[in-house]
């Protein structure tokens, strides 16, 4: 396993539509998944999409934190590793919710983004088996953020407002800086993905 470099929008790969994975027997796919998990952990993020490590394949990994506070917030999803290949949103709630997001590819920035409160994601697991995941709240937000990455879309494209962490009030900066790599709760902490 290895930590890979996370690319920024200066690298055009981040804007490419990623390709469907078809060969699950390719050992490179398993290495990619392992490396993505390690890279996500190393960066303190809660999600990562393959284009962020310059691989144009439809692979995402998500893991919400599992400290006590997060367990209260995320319930059974806290600390669960989701690896989804070729993920697709097959159902989305009409209800939208605003939240603050950050992205490991756009360090130092935050933005307010409307997302569906709940989405059902269909795809394959790392061995190619069909899976279907129902998600809501923060997990649903991270799924939407990561699946956007597979289409070359960044949260700043549809954010209602984007700001630099350094432009925030000192108090706010402390709050977000402390928590942006840890968890999001209803009072507005912001993980990166
Ligand atoms: Ni991101």
Distance (Å) from CA 88 to ligand 1 centroid: 17
Ion ligand 1 neighbours (CB, 5 A) are: 103, 193
pLDDT at 186: 35
Long-range CB pairs of 19-24, under 8 A, 24+ apart, other chains included: 19/56, 19/57, 19/58, 20/57, 20/58, 20/86, 21/57, 21/58, 21/59, 21/85, 21/86, 21/124, 24/85, 24/124, 24/126, 24/127, 24/128
Mean pLDDT of the chain: 89
**pLDDT digit string (tens) for 17-37?**
999 999 999 999 999 999 999
Distance (Å) from CA 113 to ligand 1 centroid: 12
**pTM given for the model:** 0.88
Percent of the residues in the chain that have a pLDDT greater than 70, as a whole number: 88
Structure tokens at 12: 């055009």
Catalytic residue numbers read 146
Yes or no: domain 12-184 corresponds to CATH 3.90.45.10? yes
Distance (Å) from CA 9 to ligand 1 centroid: 11
**pLDDT digit string (tens) for 94-127?**
999 999 999 999 999 999 999 999 999 999 999 9
């Amino acid at each position: 396993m290895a930590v890979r470099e996370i690319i920024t929008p200066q690298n055009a790969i981040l804007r490419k539509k990623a390709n469907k994975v078809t060969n699950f027997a390719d050992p490179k796919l398993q290495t990619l998944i392992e490396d993505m998990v390690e890279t996500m952990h190393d960066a303190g993020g809660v999600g990562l999409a393959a284009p962020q490590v310059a691989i144009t394949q439809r692979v995402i990994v998500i893991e919400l934190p599992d400290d006590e506070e997060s367990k209260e917030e995320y319930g059974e999803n806290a600390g669960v590793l989701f690896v989804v290949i070729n993920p697709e949103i097959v159902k989305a709630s009409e209800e939208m919710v605003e939240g603050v997001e950050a992205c490991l590819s756009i360090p130092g920035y935050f933005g307010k983004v409307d997302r569906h409160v709940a989405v059902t994601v269909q795809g394959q697991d790392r061995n190619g088996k069909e899976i279907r995941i129902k998600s809501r709240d923060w997990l649903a937000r991270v799924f939407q953020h990561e699946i956007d990455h597979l289409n070359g879309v960044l949260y700043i494209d549809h954010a209602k407002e984007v700001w630099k962490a350094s432009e925030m009030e000192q108090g706010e900066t402390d709050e977000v800086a402390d928590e942006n790599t840890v968890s999001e709760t209803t009072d507005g902490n912001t993980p990166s993905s």
